[in-house]
């Protein structure tokens, strides 16, 4: 039984590897366990929980789960989801990823987004909370969109949406989580850094936020959007975040300190 | 240049930064990036990096039949290619269709103008036997990573590669041409006339008419995309303009043009120093003194009186280096050469191999003189107020009717002529 880090223990899934250990491509990381009534879980609540979600880097062959890339084995107990995590630059869309896309083409009913992957993603013009045929956002070519992936398949174009489940904030008010990002600057970082920036109270954004107030949106496709009150600050923040990709943590802190001293 | 993967926000931000006198990577407007040049281990291999922009070049030399129009001229071919992994745009392009991106076309034009048309290589000195065999020099440039300013990186890579490359030594005896293998003779350097290095600027319009444009030296990819146009200058170590290339629709103000040329000249001299250091470093790895590569010799314009003697001295000081060519001896029976030096192959020393190179270098000097004249003429027109310029006697020698015209526009036109109309 692997060490449980995030909430509950896995259901309907038996790990063959310890959490956080390295998996190589093709290696079996675990097995699916039959949990239908005669075998185990009886209550409908447990049954519901027994849905195993496979994230990026994990493929299913029969009842065994194989890793499709080299990386760290991860598991989220709250969602009963397992995935293999590594640092890379190429983005492969996965379900429920928060990404920053750039509008590449406009069609009557949808737009095509560049999401930094091999293929584009489609975003319906109505996939905004409260959008109707008559009242929907106007998205120009080159607009930045913060959205989530609602369909990811290796054989089909990905689909994105700006509707946040469980929220009813209209796209008009500007309070919705997803939507168009206006102004600011975008930098490209590795996917590993992008994921680490999304961790609540992560060191990079917290350190910078203590010195310069700014807004940011992080897409797990490696795009980070930054906006602050002045051009100069945005430049500094962009450089600092990009540097965090290659510098060790202590060196980075010293670098940021020096950079901010020189700037002010 | 339209890059779909760049958002409007990024484009606007890049321009905003330039208006505020800043750059996306924290540099000032006229600050270049760090440049590194790595040469070797094989002859003619060069790797040039402008921070994230990475370009490699390699030179190969083969003996081929000359074209019927130019029987006593060798061939210089430069092939530039953009790796699909170099940028998102390139990847997209290669997936979509097999055409070339506008970036590659522009780079090819620039290299052609700055290296081939500026006659960086003396093609007549590449002649082995007139009408029968000449050297075909082929430089292959690959853009491995494109983070802006590929033109400068490519031109520098091509020139580094040409400076570092060697061709097998040959002996012409009567009807026989003998290509020496590396065991027999050390290969000889290529006849590099001068080393033009390019300095590029991204141009941002001031937004108001008759105001100088904002120029950004050594732009990164985003700045290139956001800019209204680009301007590239090629200067050699003597500070002579070897070519100008303007791309993009932005109308350029005369002040900005002059500003770019001044900044460009200084930058080109620094690039020359970087290249020289790389050449010197690569030679330090070789155990023998005779392996030292040619260095770019900077020389004040006023002293460029007779390039024949300078070139000769320069080549004489460099002994032929050790071969790494896998050259196979050609022992075909060939007609007697019109201008080849007759020598006994048994008595020939390694150093004498250079003599033949010099002999061939001294062929077809007329054209070289013309080049020097054009370049000096351009230089004078560019900087009409220059106090410490060429001596008056020399001005008389090389100037022509239009040199009295100090008008800036005519200077620009004649610059174009000087770079393009040399053939």
Q: Do B17 and A235 touch (CB under 8 A)?
A: yes
Residues of A in contact with B12 (CB under 8 A): 183
Interface test mutation site (partner A, options B9, B21, B33, B221, max chain A beta carbons within 10 A): B9
**pLDDT value of residue B323:** 34
Domains and CATH numbers, chain A: 13-85 (2.40.50.100), 98-181 (2.40.50.140), 185-263 (3.30.1370.10)
- Tell me the β-bridge partners of A120: none
Determine whether the interchain pair B7/A142 forms a contact, defined as Cβ–Cβ distance below 8 Å.
yes
Residue A31 has pLDDT above 50, yes or no: yes
**Mean pLDDT confidence for B124-146:** 92
Question: Which is higher by pLDDT, A7 or B376?
Answer: A7
pLDDT value of residue A142 = 92
A121-130, B289-298, B393-402: which has the highest mean pLDDT? A121-130
Distance CA B149, CA B53 (A): 8
Taking CA atoms, A68 is separated from A72, A73, A81, A203, in Å, by 12, 11, 16, 30
Instruction: Please determine, for residue A121, whether its predicted confidence score (pLDDT) is greater than 70.
Output: yes
B18 or B98, greater pLDDT: B18
Q: Which residue's structure tokens are 């890793």? A: A67
Q: Do B4 and A238 touch (CB under 8 A)?
A: no
Across chain B, what does the average pLDDT equal? 73
pLDDT at B43: 87
Nearest CA in chain A to B17: A231
pLDDT tens for each residue of A137-160: 999 999 999 999 999 988 899 999
Encode pLDDT of B294-323 as tens digits: 676 655 433 333 343 344 444 333 333 333
Helix axis angle, B307-317 relative to B365-382, nearest 10°? 110
Residue-wise pLDDT tens digits, B347-377: 333 333 444 444 444 443 334 344 444 444 4
**Residues on chain A touching B25 (C-beta within 8 angstroms):** 239
Q: Which residue matches tokens 């036997």? A: B129
Contacts of A102 in chain B (CB under 8 A): 4-7
Q: What's the Rg (C-alpha) of chain A? A: 21
Task: Dump the DSSP string for A119-167.
Answer: S-EEEETT-STT--SSS-----TT-EEEEEEEE--SSS-EEEE-PPTT-
How far is B20 from A165, CA to CA, in rounded Å?
A: 41
pLDDT of amino acid A149? 94
> For all residues of chain A together, what is the average pLDDT?
88
Q: What is the pLDDT of residue A22?
A: 92
Q: What is the pLDDT, as a whole number, of residue B282?
A: 82
Q: Indicate whether B15 pLDDT > 80.
A: yes
Residues from A contacting B (CB-CB < 8 Å) are 102, 104, 114, 116, 118, 140-144, 181-186, 225, 231-232, 234-236, 238-239
* Per-residue CA distances from A176 to A168, A171, A228, B404 (Å): 8, 6, 19, 69
Confidence of residue B176 (pLDDT cuts 50, 70, 90): confident
pLDDT over 70 (residue B325): no
Cβ contact A182–B9 (<8 Å): yes
Q: What is the ipTM of this complex?
A: 0.86
CA distance A195 to chain B (A): 21
CB contacts of A104 in chain B (<8 Å) are 4
Q: From A144, which residue of chain B is nearest by alpha-carbon distance? A: B7
pLDDT at A56: 84
Instruction: Inspect the interface and report whether the beta carbons of B26 and A232 lie closer than 8 Å.
Output: no
Partners of A184 on chain B (C-beta within 8 Å) are 9, 13
pLDDT in tens, A195-252: 999 988 888 999 999 989 999 999 999 999 999 999 999 999 999 999 999 899 999 9
From CA A11, how far away is CA A52, in angstroms rounded? 7
Percent of chain B with pLDDT over 90: 36
- Determine contact, residues A78/A7, Cβ cutoff 8 Å: yes
Contacts of A167 (CB under 8 A, 6+ apart): A129, A176, A177
| For residue A179, pLDDT beyond 70 | yes
Residues 56-115 of B with CB under 8 A from A: 88, 95
Closest CA to B148 of B223, B228, B231, B249: B223
The C-alpha atoms of residue B145 and residue A17 are separated, in whole angstroms, by 38
Chain A residues touching B6 at Cβ < 8 A: 102, 142
Q: Which residues of chain A does B23 touch, with a Cβ-Cβ cutoff of 8 Å?
A: 235
| Sheet strands (E) in B40-132 | 45-50, 53-64, 75-82, 127-129
Task: For residue A106, give the nearest of A119, A125, A93 by alpha carbon.
Answer: A125
**Structural domains of chain B in order of their starting residue, each with its CATH number:** 8-285 (3.30.230.70)
Contact A184 B16 (CB under 8 A): no
- Judge whether A145 and A101 are in contact, CB under 8 Å: yes
A-contacting residues in B 12-41 (Cβ below 8 Å): 12-13, 16-17, 20, 22-26
pLDDT of residue B349: 37
* Residues in B touching A239 (Cβ below 8 Å): 25-26
Least confident of A108-112, A235-239, B40-44: B40-44
Report the residue from A142, A181, A231 with minimal CB separation from B22: A231
Sign of the alpha-carbon torsion through A116, B11, A202, A165: negative
Chain B: closest CA distance from residue A167 (Å): 27
The beta-carbon neighbor of B8 closest among A143, A231, A239 is A143
Determine if the peptide bond prior to B402 is cis (ω within 30°).
no
Q: Residue B190: pLDDT above 80?
A: yes
The confidence score (pLDDT) of residue B212 equals: 80
How much is the pLDDT for A260? 87
Searching chain A, which residue's CA lies closest to the CA of residue B15?
A231
pLDDT value at position B4? 55
pLDDT (mean) for A126-136: 90
pLDDT at B223: 92
Are residues A234 and B13, on separate chains, in Cβ contact within 8 Å?
A: yes
Mean pLDDT of B234-261: 90
- Residue in chain A closest to B94 (alpha carbons) equals A118
């Amino acid at each position: 039984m692997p060490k449980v880090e995030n909430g509950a223990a896995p259901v309907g899934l038996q790990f063959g590897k310890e959490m956080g250990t390295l998996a190589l491509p093709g290696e079996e990381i675990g097995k699916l366990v039959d949990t239908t009534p005669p075998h185990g879980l009886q209550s409908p609540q447990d049954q519901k929980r027994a849905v195993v979600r496979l994230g990026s880097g994990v493929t299913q062959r029969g009842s065994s789960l194989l890793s499709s890339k080299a990386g760290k084995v991860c598991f989220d107990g709250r969602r009963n989801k397992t995935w293999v995590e590594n640092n890379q630059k190429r983005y492969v869309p996965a379900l429920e990823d928060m990404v920053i896309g750039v509008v590449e083409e406009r069609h009557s009913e949808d737009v095509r987004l560049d999401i930094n992957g091999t293929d584009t993603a489609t975003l319906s013009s109505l996939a905004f909370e409260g959008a109707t045929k008559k009242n929907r956002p106007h998205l120009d070519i080159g607009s930045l969109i913060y959205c989530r992936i609602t369909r990811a398949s290796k054989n089909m174009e990905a689909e994105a949406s700006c509707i946040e489940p469980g929220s009813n904030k209209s796209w008009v008010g500007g309070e919705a989580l997803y939507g168009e990002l206006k102004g600011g600057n975008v930098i490209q970082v590795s996917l590993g850094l992008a994921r680490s920036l999304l961790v609540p109270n992560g060191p990079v954004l917290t350190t910078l936020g203590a010195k310069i107030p700014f807004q940011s949106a992080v897409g797990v496709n490696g795009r980070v959007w930054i906006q602050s009150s002045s051009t100069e600050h945005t430049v500094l923040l962009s450089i600092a975040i990009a540097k965090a990709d290659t510098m060790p943590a202590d060196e980075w802190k010293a670098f940021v300190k020096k950079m901010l001293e020189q700037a002010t | 240049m339209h890059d779909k993967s760049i958002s409007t926000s990024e484009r606007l931000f890049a321009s905003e930064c330039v208006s505020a006198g800043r750059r996306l990577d924290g540099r000032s407007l006229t600050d270049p990036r760090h440049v590194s040049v790595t040469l070797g281990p094989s002859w003619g291999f060069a790797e040039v990096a402008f921070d994230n922009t990475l370009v490699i070049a390699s030179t190969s030399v083969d003996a081929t039949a000359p074209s019927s129009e130019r029987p006593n001229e060798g061939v210089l071919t430069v092939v530039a290619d953009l790796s699909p992994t170099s940028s998102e745009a390139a990847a997209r392009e290669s997936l979509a269709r097999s055409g070339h991106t506008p970036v590659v076309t522009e780079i090819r034009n620039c290299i052609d103008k700055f290296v081939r048309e500026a006659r960086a290589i003396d093609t007549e000195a590449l002649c082995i036997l007139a009408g029968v065999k000449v050297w075909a020099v082929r430089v292959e440039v690959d853009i491995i990573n494109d983070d802006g300013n590929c033109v400068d990186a490519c031109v520098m890579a091509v020139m580094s590669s040409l400076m570092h490359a060697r061709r097998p030594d040959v002996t012409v005896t009567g009807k026989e041409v003998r290509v020496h293998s590396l065991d027999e003779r050390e290969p000889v350097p290529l006849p590099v006339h001068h080393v033009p290095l390019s300095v590029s600027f991204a141009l941002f319009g001031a937004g108001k008419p008759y105001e100088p444009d904002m120029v950004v030296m050594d732009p990164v990819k985003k700045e290139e995309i956001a800019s209204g146009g680009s301007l590239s200058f090629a200067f050699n170590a003597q500070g002579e303009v070897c070519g100008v290339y303007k791309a993009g629709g932005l109308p350029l103000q005369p002040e900005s043009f002059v500003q770019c040329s001044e900044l460009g000249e200084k930058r080109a001299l620094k690039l020359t120093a970087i290249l020289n250091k790389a050449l010197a470093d690569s030679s330090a790895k070789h155990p023998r003194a005779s392996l030292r590569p040619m260095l770019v010799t900077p020389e004040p314009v006023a002293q460029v009186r007779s390039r024949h003697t300078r070139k000769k001295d320069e080549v004489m000081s460099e002994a032929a280096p050790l071969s790494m060519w896998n050259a196979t001896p050609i022992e075909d029976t060939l007609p007697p050469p019109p201008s080849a030096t007759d020598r006994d192959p048994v008595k020939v020393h390694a150093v004498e191999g250079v003599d033949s190179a010099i002999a061939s270098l001294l062929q077809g000097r007329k054209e070289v003189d013309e080049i020097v004249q054009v370049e000096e003429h351009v230089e004078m027109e560019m900087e009409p107020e220059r106090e410490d310029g060429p001596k008056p006697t020399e001005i008389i020698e090389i100037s022509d009717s239009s040199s009295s015209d100090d008008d800036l526009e005519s200077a620009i036109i004649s610059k174009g002529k000087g770079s393009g109309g040399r053939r």
